């Protein structure tokens, strides 16, 4: 019990620092908390059945939940991944030991967003398989999954709309990151789909705040601006180079056929 008692005050001051927005102090307190947590024997992977086990698990889960949210505040994606990996076992393996956490779905949703931002779709779907049909209906999860579908379809306006009604404040960081991805995607689509596009509509489609921002971006991508219109360059070179690759590819194929046939005859 002493051990648990000694952790509680640190946890309280950590939470206070977290809530008041003092991220540096929270960060240093977090590392001391983590050291303390290693002394709890009832935590995964040991799951020792001690009398204080539920309390210890609760504290550990709370610490990790705050750590995940802290990493969002610090805008540190690697830290987010680490903390979430630790926290995940609490959500999967201690379900029968603890009451469900209120933070569970928001944090899961955050993780989905992170995978989306980092474009790790395979992992996104693997994680998604773990959720039951009921949890898929949860507002936090649904938000992230809908985003993925919009992105796949190309319904970028809906993504931009989703930016406005995020389910929690902590989502803003990842949503902002997602916006840049979306802008790049829209730009790439425009390049292929439109021969020309007026500056005004381009500004609206890529959700730029001012025309000068758009001009900067246009220069970056090598678009030509003339008469208030953007002209996209058609890549002529691509076809020529693809023909070069074709012949070596074909030679390789033919050689492999010859080799195989020789083996048969």
Partner 1 sequence: MVEDTDMKEVEKVAKKPAAKPAESVPEPDLSVLLKRNVSLIEKAVNSKEPRLMGRVLRQTGVFRKKLTAEKIEAFVKSTLPEGVVMKPFLLDSLSSEGSGMQVDVPSSGKEATFLPETEIYACLVVILYLIDQKHYEKAKAVTTAAVQRLDTFNRRSLDLLAARVYFYLSWSHECLNTLDEIRSKLLALHRTATLHHDNIGQEMLLNLLLRNYLHYNLYDLAEKLRSKTELPESRSNQQYCRYLHYLGRIRAIQLEYTDAKECLIQASRKAPQAALGFRIVVHKWLALVRLLLGEIPERTMFRQKGLEKALEPYFYITQAVRIGDLNAFRAAVDKYQSVFQTDKTMNLITRLRKNVIRTGLRRINLAYSCISMTDIAAKLGLGLTDDVESIVAKAIRDGAIDATLDHPNRCMYSKDQVDVYSSQEPQGAFHARISFCLDTYNEAVTAMRFPPDAHKKGLESAEARKERQQQEQELAQHIAEEEEEEEEDF
Residues engaged in binding partner 1 (CB under 8 A): 121-123, 125-130, 133, 149, 152-158, 185-186, 188-195, 197-198, 201, 205, 246, 250, 253, 257, 260, 264
Q: Which is nearer to partner 1, 6 or 241 (CB)?
A: 241
Q: Which is nearer to partner 1, 2 or 165 (CB)?
A: 165
Task: List, in sequence order, every beta strand (DSSP E) within the chain.
Answer: 196-198, 224-226, 229-231
- Strand 196-198 and strand 224-226: the pairing is unpaired
Q: Which two tokens stand for residue 97?
A: 């030991």
Terminal CA-CA length for the chain: 80
Q: Which is nearer to partner 1, 194 or 217 (CB)?
A: 194
DSSP 8-state code for residue 224: E
- Look at phi and psi of residue 73 and say left if phi exceeds 0, alpha if psi is from -120 to 50, else beta: alpha
* Surface-to-core class of residue 115, CB atoms within 10 Å of its CB (0-12 exposed, 13-18 middle, 19+ buried): buried
Q: Which is nearer to partner 1, 56 or 104 (CB)?
A: 104
Measured distance CA(11)–CA(14) in Å, rounded: 5
If DSSP codes are grouped into helix, strand and coil, which group holds residue 111?
helix
Residue 80 beta carbon to partner 1: minimum distance, rounded to whole angstroms: 18
Residue 93 beta carbon to partner 1: minimum distance, rounded to whole angstroms: 10
Residues counted in the chain: 265
CA dihedral 89, 91, 97, 103 (to 10 degrees): 140
Of 184, 185, 139, 138, nearest to 162 (Cα)? 139
Q: Which is nearer to partner 1, 176 or 257 (CB)?
A: 257
Q: Which is nearer to partner 1, 133 or 237 (CB)?
A: 133
Q: Which two tokens stand for residue 113?
A: 């967003």
Q: What are phi and psi of 84, to 5 degrees?
A: -65, -40
If DSSP codes are grouped into helix, strand and coil, which group holds residue 233?
coil
């Amino acid at each position: 019990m002493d051990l648990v008692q000694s952790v509680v005050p640190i946890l309280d001051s950590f939470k206070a620092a977290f809530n008041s927005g003092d991220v540096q102090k929270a960060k240093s307190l977090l590392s001391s908390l983590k050291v303390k947590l290693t002394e709890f024997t009832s935590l995964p992977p040991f799951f020792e059945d001690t009398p204080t086990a539920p309390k210890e698990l609760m504290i550990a889960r709370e610490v990790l939940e705050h750590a995940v949210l802290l990493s969002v505040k610090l805008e540190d994606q690697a830290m987010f991944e680490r903390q979430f990996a630790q926290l995940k076992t609490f959500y999967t393996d201690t379900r029968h030991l603890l009451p469900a956490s209120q933070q569970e779905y928001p944090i899961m949703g955050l993780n989905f967003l992170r995978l989306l931002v980092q474009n790790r779709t395979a992992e996104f779907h693997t994680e998604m398989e773990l959720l039951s049909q009921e949890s898929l209906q949860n507002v936090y999860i649904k938000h992230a999954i809908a985003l993925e579908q919009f992105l796949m379809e190309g319904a970028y306006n809906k993504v931009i709309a989703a930016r406005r009604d995020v389910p929690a404040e902590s989502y803003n960081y990842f949503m902002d990151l997602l916006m840049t991805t979306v802008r790049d995607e829209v730009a790439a689509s425009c390049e292929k789909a439109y021969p020309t596009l007026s500056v005004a509509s381009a500004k609206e489609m890529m959700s730029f705040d001012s025309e000068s921002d758009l001009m900067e971006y246009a220069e970056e991508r090598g678009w030509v601006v003339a008469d208030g219109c953007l002209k996209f360059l058609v890549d002529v070179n691509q076809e020529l180079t693809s023909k070069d690759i074709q012949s070596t590819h074909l030679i390789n194929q033919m050689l492999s056929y010859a080799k195989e046939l020789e083996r048969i005859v």
